[in-house]
Amino acid sequence: MSGLLPDSSNPVEYIQHHLVNLSIGEGFWAIHLDTLFISWLLGGAIIYAGYRVGRDLSLERPSGMQNILEAVLEFVDDLVRSVLGRGHTMIGTLAMTAFLWVLLMNLMDMIPVDLIPWLVGLFGADHFRAVPTADPQAPLGMALLVFVLMLYYNIRIKGFYQYMMEFLTHPFGIWLFPINFVMKLIEEIAKPLSLGLRLFGNLFAGELGFLLVALLPFWVQPVPGTIWLLFHLLVVVLQAFIFMVLTVMYLALAHMGHEEH
């Protein structure tokens, strides 16, 4: 047992140990098994619940889970409509999935930091990070999909020429096109980066907070642990919400010319 978990009497080692993923492969080819496993587990739970609910929807007497999913869907749909002026299946679905999935992944942070690593440690895994969104790969991966779709819609809706003109003429007019190009490039790349890194940063900080609390003597832990838990519960829900809203905003903006926004 003592070999599986580091001694909390050595704080640096303890924290560093918790920040290493269970992975196979090296460098670019590394795969974080823990991140993928947990996110698939939670995604699978959403799909399973969604399948159960969607299979027999009740028009007159919606069940509890149907009510929740309906409320989330209508909320996301209203948001899309208020930003874009009309409904959009692709944006709505993506935002709804992002909200539910990110929320569940964030909520993994509410499980005691040492519980899951200890459990999988029994099966011989030496590292395990249970919160996928505290691993930059997960939120950035999701943000990258949003970015790819942004590019796709920008080019599909505005046409490649029009989109390039935005790069060259926005915001200073055509004569300063090199500056325009660089600024627009930074603006576009900053979108997915900020989207992913905001989520990652918040969840990473949350995890770190729990790790620090876990380093305290056990009789001190309840008070700061509870305070941090309550505070972090807010952050967890808020970040899932923000991720969803920004997904909608970025994809909706890709549908509008820059004279519209």
Interaction between residue 31 and other proteins (CB under 8 A): yes
Strands (E), 10-87: 23-24, 31-32
Q: How far is the CB of 35 from other proteins (least distance, A)?
A: 6
| Chain Cα centroid distance, residue 17 | 23
Which of 22, 38, 53, 199 touches other proteins by CB under 8 A?
53
Beta bridge partners of 7: none
- Annotated catalytic residue 10: no
106: its two tokens: 């964030």
Q: How far is the CB of 181 from other proteins (least distance, A)?
A: 24
Catalytic residue of the set 8, 21, 81, 198: 198
Which of 5, 15, 47, 256 touches other proteins by CB under 8 A?
47
- Nearer to other proteins by C-beta: 192 or 206? 192
Contact 131, 207 (CB under 8 A): yes
Interaction between residue 193 and other proteins (CB under 8 A): no
- R_g of the chain, CA atoms, integer Å: 22
- Annotated catalytic residue 61: no
Terminal-to-terminal C-alpha distance of the chain: 58
Which of 16, 20, 30, 160 touches other proteins by CB under 8 A?
30
Residue type (1 letter), 186: I
Interaction between residue 239 and other proteins (CB under 8 A): no
- Annotated catalytic residue 194: yes
Catalytic residue of the set 8, 21, 81, 194: 194
Residues 6+ apart with CB under 8 A from 72: 96, 99, 100
Residue keyed to tokens 């770190």: 208
Scanning 115-123, 130-138, 211-219, 222-230 for contacts with other proteins by CB under 8 A, the matching segment is: 130-138
Which of 54, 85, 171, 257 touches other proteins by CB under 8 A?
54
Catalytic residue of the set 23, 106, 180, 202: 202
Distance separating alpha carbons of residues 88 and 183, to the nearest angstrom: 29
- Nearer to other proteins by C-beta: 229 or 245? 245
- Nearer to other proteins by C-beta: 91 or 213? 91
Contact 39, 105 (CB under 8 A): yes
